[in-house]
């Protein structure tokens, strides 16, 4: 996963991945979309290839690059776990709900309708 994170840390490489999302492209087609030199684009493509994020195939004299999303699965899973609320968050949410319900029930039992400000 570290190699994938390092590969996508660079904005040029992220842009290349977005370009390849739509269709496979030759190295020259990719380089034409950037103001950086062709050797610099080649280095970026090498990093992406070594991380397993792109696959290249020969098409005559051209190298055609294709996006490979499988290496992103581990990162996606880790990010999903990171974004999931912790056990404490679930408990605090449940406590907040119970406090709200209790306040509402007390006001209802007293025969008056509470305002939203009183409940919260």
| Domain carrying residue 25 | 2-67
User: Does residue 20 sit in the same domain as residue 55?
Assistant: yes
Residue 113's pLDDT band (cuts 50, 70, 90): low
Give 66's strand partners: 55
E strands within 5-95?
25-26, 54-59, 62-67
Q: Is residue 74 part of a domain?
A: no
CA separation for the pair 54, 90 (Å, rounded): 39
Residue 19 located in a structural domain: yes
Question: Is there a domain that residue 12 lies in?
Answer: yes
Q: What's the structural domain count of the chain? A: 2
Q: For the whole model, what pTM was predicted?
A: 0.67
Is 98 found in the same domain as 42? no
Q: In this predicted model, what pLDDT tens digit does every residue of 45-98 receive, in sequence order?
A: 999 999 999 999 998 999 999 999 999 999 998 888 888 766 677 778 888 888
* CA 44 to each of CA 1, 16, 52, 70: distance values in angstroms, whole numbers, following the listed order: 18, 9, 13, 19
Residue 78 placed within a domain? no
In contact, 7 and 1? CB cutoff 8 Å: no
Within-domain flag for 77: no
For residue 32, what pLDDT band results from cuts at 50, 70 and 90? very high
Q: Is residue 112 part of a domain?
A: yes
């Amino acid at each position: 996963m570290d190699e994938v994170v390092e590969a996508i840390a660079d904005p040029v490489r992220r842009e290349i991945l977005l370009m390849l999302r739509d269709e496979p492209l030759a190295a020259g087609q990719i380089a034409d979309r950037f103001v950086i030199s062709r050797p610099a684009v080649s280095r970026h493509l090498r990093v992406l290839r070594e991380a397993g994020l792109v696959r290249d195939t020969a098409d005559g004299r051209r190298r055609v690059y294709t996006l490979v999303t499988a290496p992103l699965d581990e990162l996606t899973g880790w990010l999903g776990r990171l974004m999931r609320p912790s056990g404490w968050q679930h408990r605090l949410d449940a406590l907040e709900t119970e406090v709200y319900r209790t306040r509402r029930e007390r006001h209802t039992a007293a025969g008056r309708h509470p305002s939203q400000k009183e409940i919260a």
